[in-house]
Amino acid sequence: MKLAQGGIAALQSELKNADPEYYDKVDLNNPHTVWYGRFQFVG
């Protein structure tokens, strides 16, 4: 699990690579929105 291994920064990085547009809009300090975005765009 990325969150346990690398913290929210690892999820933010994945999300930024997968969907920079969503990354720019989402509250990056909220792990729930980053997690949701990761699954929406990364799979």
User: For the segment 17-34, what is each residue's pLDDT rounded down to a tens digit?
Assistant: 888 998 999 898 888 888
Domain ranges for the chain: 2-41
The C-alpha atoms of residue 21 and residue 2 are separated, in whole angstroms, by 21
Q: Using one digit for the tens of pLDDT, what is the confidence trace for 1-17?
A: 455 677 888 888 888 98
* pLDDT at residue 24 in the model: 93
Alpha-carbon distances of 26 from 7, 31, 32, 41, rounded to whole Å: 17, 10, 10, 13
Q: Which residues of 4-43 are buried (b: 16+ CB within 10 A; e: fewer)?
A: eeeeeebbbebbeeebeebbeebebeeeeebeebbeebee
